[in-house]
Amino acid sequence: MITQWLIEKKRDGAVLSDQEIREFIAGYNNGSIPDYQMAALAMAIFFQGMTAAETAALTDAMMRSGDQISFDGWSRPVADKHSTGGIGDKLSLVIAPLAAAAGLAVPKISGRGLGITGGTLDKLESIPGYDTCLSIAEFKRVVEVVGCSIIGQTESLAPADKKLYALRDVTGTVPSIPLITASIMSKKLAAGAATLVFDVKCGRAAFMKSQQDAEALAKSLVTVGRALDRKCGAIITNMDQPLGRTAGNAVEVIEAIETLKGGGPPDTRLLAVELTAQMTVLSNVYPELDNAREKLAGLLENGAALACFRHMVEEQKGDARVIDDYTRFPQPGATVEIRAAAEGFVREVNAETIGRVVLQLGGGRRKTEDVIDRAAGVDSLAQQGQRVEKGGVLMRLHARSAELARSMVESAQAAVMISDTPPQERELIIALN
Ligand code: URA
């Protein structure tokens, strides 16, 4: 294989064969193809795109660049969901134990937050002692005894993606649907799930701003998953407003626990049930979606999903007493309330602004090596359409100092628009695939 010929082939809009893609990725992974040639190919893909077959071949090659976890022979169906990330998205913390309570095995490998979107690992690590760095053998053991486990990315799963993602980040080649698809799918497939459900966020604070782009990504993920023999479904959901009434780390875990206790905000509960329903129906645990929604609501009401969460926390050495006593979570140094300047209806809560506020309060990272404050964040967040009185609380800001919390008051106030008339109700679920 002459590497530059393949770059030229893609540059000129031709279709690469499975073998050409496989050899390119293998060469990049073992260091024989340098970064500059991979960057050139990524840019050619960015401009020329890839067919579904090429994207599937790229995904497969990246998945095979490292270890693959096998659940062959397991009696429980193995399933997972992936979200493209948003503000206040604590759904994995609800869905993994809920799906486990329904009889699925959920081996979940999650990421950390970067920029304005939070990460499941950072949230979970606000539970004192919770270990996100299990060996693969230990991870599988926890999935077997609990039904779910959530850990961080290991070095050995899809290493070509890790290398390529870092390269894309500095070469302007992140927003390419085939490259995003291969990146997301290679990690998910290496983790071993037979069924995958995608929550593709769409809106102001999402990776995909327009419905058209979100639909294209959802279609690409589902098509490639099916081409590689997985059962796949996707939901496109609104990310103009934050999900739920909290954004941060410890505050989001508390809200997830409330949802697992049968309460929680309606949007969080609705999406958790909907995505888990898709996972269970695709995995043949329940025969159809309405039946699944009803059964899953029952597992939230009767404590079965909460019991799985508690068991997972215990197995991963976390202090499960936090579930009954929220004061055991990291506590903020100061809390400041944001109050409404006028009465009316909450017209919108700008998710992007809330994400920036959380980041500046210390709850997020600007660079991968930044240390985050797990107690920092926002809670009691007003919901779109809610009626508020003048002086009513729109949200509370938590930070390590009163000075830091007060420095964010103006931005936080600007995130909430109040109007005299109720706004049009937002559609949380925009489309199903
Ligand atoms: N998330 C990923 O894992 N990869 C991408 O390319 C984009 C989002």
- Please check the confidence at residue 431 and state whether its pLDDT lies above 80: no
Question: Is 328 known to be catalytic?
Answer: no
pLDDT digits (tens, 9 = 90+) for 146-181: 999 999 988 899 999 999 999 998 999 999 999 999
pLDDT at res. 56? 98
Q: Tokens 């606000």 appear where? A: 126
pLDDT at 368: 77
Report the candidate in 331, 338, 180, 349 with the shortest Cα–Cα distance to residue 249. Answer: 331
CB-based burial of residue 297 (10 Å sphere; 0-12 exposed, 13-18 middle, 19+ buried)? middle
Question: Three-state SS for 56?
Answer: helix
Whole-number Å distance between alpha carbons of 97 and 90: 13
Within 13 Å, how many C-alpha atoms sit on residue 111's CB side? 20
Q: How far apart (Å, rounded) are the C-alpha atoms in residues 202 and 200? A: 6
Q: Is 201 a catalytic residue?
A: no
Is any ligand 1 atom within 6 A of the Cβ of residue 238?
no
Distance 185 CA to ligand 1 centre (A): 9
Structure tokens, 108: 């979940």
Picking from 116, 118, 395, 400, the residue whose alpha carbon sits closest to that of residue 249 is 118
Q: From the CA of 284, how far away is ligand 1's center (Å)?
A: 29
- The preferred substitution site among 50, 58, 121, 180 for testing ligand 1, maximizing ligand atoms within 8 Å of CB, is 180
CA of 7 to the centre of ligand 1 (A): 22
Cβ atoms of residues 430 and 211 within 8 Å: yes
User: Which residues of 126-270 form beta strands (DSSP E)?
Assistant: 148-152, 195-202, 231-238, 247-248
Specify the residue with its C-alpha closest to ligand 1, atom 7.
Answer: 180
Average pLDDT of the residues in 262-278: 97
Q: What is the DSSP letter of 323?
A: G
Q: Which residue minimizes the CA distance to atom 3 of ligand 1?
A: 184
Active-site annotation holds for 82: yes
Residue type for position 230: R
Beta partners for 346? 418
Q: Which of 108, 153, 167, 184 to mutate to test the pocket of ligand 1 (most atoms within 8 A of CB)?
A: 184
Q: If DSSP codes are grouped into helix, strand and coil, which group holds residue 304?
A: helix
pLDDT average, residue stretch 92-116 = 94
Per-residue pLDDT reduced to its tens digit, 359-390: 999 999 888 788 999 999 999 999 999 999 99
Domains of the chain: 3-49 (1.20.970.10), 79-323 (3.40.1030.10), 331-419 (3.90.1170.30)
Nearest to 279 by CA among 20, 35, 98: 98
Catalytic residue, from 123, 162, 187, 269: name it: 187
Nearest CA to ligand 1 atom 8: 180
Cα separation, 413 vs 406, whole angstroms: 11
List of residues 6+ apart from 266 with CB closer than 8 A: none
Q: Which two tokens stand for residue 14?
A: 């031709």
Give the DSSP H or E segment for 395.
strand 393-399
Residues 48 and 188: their CA atoms lie apart, in Å, by 25
Give yes or no for a contact between 310 and 107, defined as CB atoms under 8 angstroms apart.
no
Report whether 164 contacts 28 (CB < 8 A): yes
The preferred substitution site among 45, 110, 116, 165 for testing ligand 1, maximizing ligand atoms within 8 Å of CB, is 165
- Ligand 1 centre and the CA of 184: distance in Å? 5
> Tokens 């626990």, residue?
257
Residue 179 Cα: closest atom of ligand 1? 6
184 close to ligand 1 (CB < 6 Angstrom): yes
Q: Mean of the pLDDT values across residues 303-317?
A: 98
Q: Compute the residue count for the chain.
A: 433
209 is catalytic: no
Instruction: Please choose, from the candidates 278, 281, 282, 256, the residue with its C-alpha nearest in 3D space to the C-alpha of residue 269.
Output: 256
Q: Closest by alpha carbon to 265, among 162, 176, 385, 170?
A: 385
Specify the residue for token string 């609990």: 146
* Residue 433: predicted pLDDT: 66
Query: Could you tell me which residues come within 8 angstroms of residue 184 by beta carbon, excluding any fewer than 6 positions away?
Result: 82, 84, 221
Question: Annotated catalytic residue: which of 122, 161, 240, 267?
Answer: 161
Using alpha carbons, select from 273, 307, 296 the residue that is nearest to residue 146.
307
How many A from CA of 66 to the centre of ligand 1?
Answer: 17
What is the per-residue pLDDT across 199-248, written as a single tens digit (0 to 9) for each? 999 999 898 999 999 999 999 999 999 999 999 999 999 999 999 999 99
Task: Please tell me if the CB atom of residue 45 comes closer than 6 angstroms to any atom of ligand 1.
Answer: no
User: Which run of H or of E encompasses 309?
Assistant: helix 304-315
For atom 1 of ligand 1, the residue with the nearest CA is: 184
- By percentage, how much of the chain surpasses pLDDT 90? 92
Which residues, 6 or more positions from 432, have their beta carbon under 8 angstroms from its beta carbon?
233, 234, 235, 236
Write out pLDDT tens, residues 15-73. Answer: 999 999 999 999 999 999 999 999 999 999 999 999 999 999 999 999 999 999 999 99
Q: Is 187 among the residues known to form the active site?
A: yes
